[in-house]
Amino acid sequence: LAKTTQPISMDSYEGQEVNITCSHNNIATNDYITWYQQFPSQGPRFIIQGYKTKVTNEVASLFIPADRKSSTLSLPRVSLSDTAVYYCLVGSISGSARQLTFGSGTQLTVLP
Amino acid sequence: NAGVTQTPKFQVLKTGQSMTLQCAQDMNHNSMYWYRQDPGMGLRLIYYSASEGTTDKGEVPNGYNVSRLNKREFSLRLESAAPSQTSVYFCASSERQGVITGELFFGEGSRLTVL
């Protein structure tokens, strides 16, 4: 079971790029990396998923180095509305749903 | 298209009382999940159902039971509520089991207080 480690909190200013790194040293060959965003009093929302190298969508980019022991979620030009908790998950279709456990996440606070 | 709907949104129970949290999804997803989230913590998996007719324990199943009533509905029952079960409960669904499929779709949560 791949354990993930993220910073507890981060602060940024509006308009800046934010990078949140997740460590997953014992990631398995079949594991994918998924990031979620959670606002207060809401359920988490899927942001992005990747296996290796780089993935980009309309809201974020995910960078995964060759050894896959870490990953970095990049949020371009954040706004106040990006203040939320961000979770990194690691798992695969061949694994148990027990892997679908969220860590404590990273509280991102965007300041004006 | 409502997505994942949970009822009730708020509930207060006394120790020892029982209740059932209801969850329904309208996305024709195969897998459904129940999580709990305690203040300042991440979500912990209670039970999941990979497909209609199957259920399995997650990380923290003690004190809970589940029923996958049909493909759309997955209920969570507390038989004898305890103060330690005070939490926010989230139901989620996905097309197939596993993170590889990408998206878990979550409901808005049910806030339960046990006195």
Tens-digit pLDDT profile for residues A54-82: 999 999 999 999 999 999 999 999 999 99
Beta bridge partners of A69: none
Contact A45 B106 (CB under 8 A): yes
Contact B109 A42 (CB under 8 A): yes
Polymer length in residues for chain A: 112
Scanning every residue of chain A, which has its alpha carbon at the shortest distance from the alpha carbon of B98?
A: A93
pLDDT score of B50: 84
Tokens of A103: 């860590």
Beta bridge partners of A75: A18
Q: By the CB < 8 Å criterion, does A49 face chain B?
A: yes
Query: Taking 70 as the threshold, does the pLDDT of residue A96 lie above it?
Result: no
Mean pLDDT over the full length of chain B: 90
pLDDT score of B64: 97
Distance of CA B55 to the CA centre of its chain: 12
Where do we find the tokens 């195969």? B30
Question: Which residue in A23, A25, A4, A30 sits closest to A95, CA to CA?
Answer: A30
Q: Where do the DSSP E strands lie in A1-112?
A: 9-13, 18-23, 32-38, 45-50, 53-56, 61-64, 70-75, 84-91, 106-111
Question: Among positive and negative, which fits the CA dihedral A38, A39, A45, A47?
Answer: negative
pLDDT score of A39: 94
Tens-digit pLDDT profile for residues B61-101: 999 999 998 999 999 999 999 999 999 999 999 887 654 55
Share of residues in chain B with pLDDT > 90 (%): 70
Q: By the CB < 8 Å criterion, does A79 face chain B?
A: no
Where do we find the tokens 């159902």? B49
Q: Which residues of B touch A93 (CB under 8 A)?
A: 96-101
Residue B10: enclosing H or E segment and its boundaries?
strand B10-13
Beta bridge partners of A11: A109
Scanning every residue of chain A, which has its alpha carbon at the shortest distance from the alpha carbon of B10?
A: A41
pLDDT-based confidence at residue A47 (cuts at 50, 70, 90)? very high
Interacting residues of A40 by C-beta distance below 8 A, sequence separation 6+ = none
Helix (H, G, I), strand (E, B) or coil at A50: strand
Tens-digit pLDDT profile for residues B26-69: 999 988 999 999 987 788 889 989 888 889 888 899 999 999 98
Alpha-carbon distance of B9 to B6, in angstroms, equals 7
Query: Taking 70 as the threshold, does the pLDDT of residue A19 lie above it?
Result: yes
One-character DSSP codes across chain B:
---EEEE-SEEEE-TT--EEEEEEESS--SEEEEEEE-TTS-EEEEEEESSTT--EE-S--TT-EEEE-SSSBEEEEESS--GGG-EEEEEEEESSSSGGG-PPEE---EEEEE-
Query: Taking 90 as the threshold, does the pLDDT of residue A101 lie above it?
Result: no
